[in-house]
Copies of this chain bind each other. A is one copy, B any other.
Amino acid sequence: MNMCRGNILPIISACSIGIGAYLGAKYERLKARPSDEMQDHIGSDSYFPWSIQAATLIPSSVSAPVSNPAEIMRYGFPSLDNVRTFDSFVLAYDRRTRNPHWVFEHLTPDKLPSKHGADRKYSNFFEDLKIHDKFRSLLKDYKYSGYDRGHMAAAGNHRHSQQAMDQTFTLSNISPQVGEGFNRGIWNNLEKYVRSIARKNRNTYVCTGPLYLPRKEADGKTYVKYEVIGQSNVAVPTHFFKVVAIETNAGEFEILSFVLPNQPIQDDVPLKNFLTPLDAIERSAGLLLFDKLPLDKVKLINHQRRR
Residues of A at the B interface (CB closer than 8 Å) are: 22-24, 35-38, 40-41, 43, 49-50, 52-53, 56-57, 79-83, 94-97, 130-132, 134-135, 212, 214, 221-229, 231, 233, 235, 279, 282-288
User: How far apart are the CA atoms of A287 and B212 in the complex, in Å?
Assistant: 20
Question: Known contacts A79-B81, A214-B233: does B37 contact A130 (CB below 8 Å)?
Answer: yes
| Docked-complex contact B228 and A214, CB < 8 angstroms | yes
Partner of A131 from the list B37, B52, B83, B135 (CB cut-off 8 Å) is B37
Partner of A40 from the list B22, B57, B226, B284 (CB cut-off 8 Å) is B57
| Docked-complex contact B233 and A22, CB < 8 angstroms | yes
Q: How far, in Å, is A42 (CB) from chain B's closest CB?
A: 9
User: How far apart are the CA atoms of A222 and B41 in the complex, in Å?
Assistant: 36
| Docked-complex contact A287 and B95, CB < 8 angstroms | yes
Q: How far, in Å, is A106 (CB) from chain B's closest CB?
A: 23
| Docked-complex contact B214 and A222, CB < 8 angstroms | no
User: How far apart are the CA atoms of A222 and B235 in the complex, in Å?
Assistant: 10
Residue of B nearest to A225 (CB): B225
- Show 10 A/B contacts (Cβ-Cβ < 8 Å), sorted by A: A23-B233, A36-B132, A49-B49, A80-B80, A80-B81, A95-B286, A96-B284, A221-B227, A222-B227, A224-B228
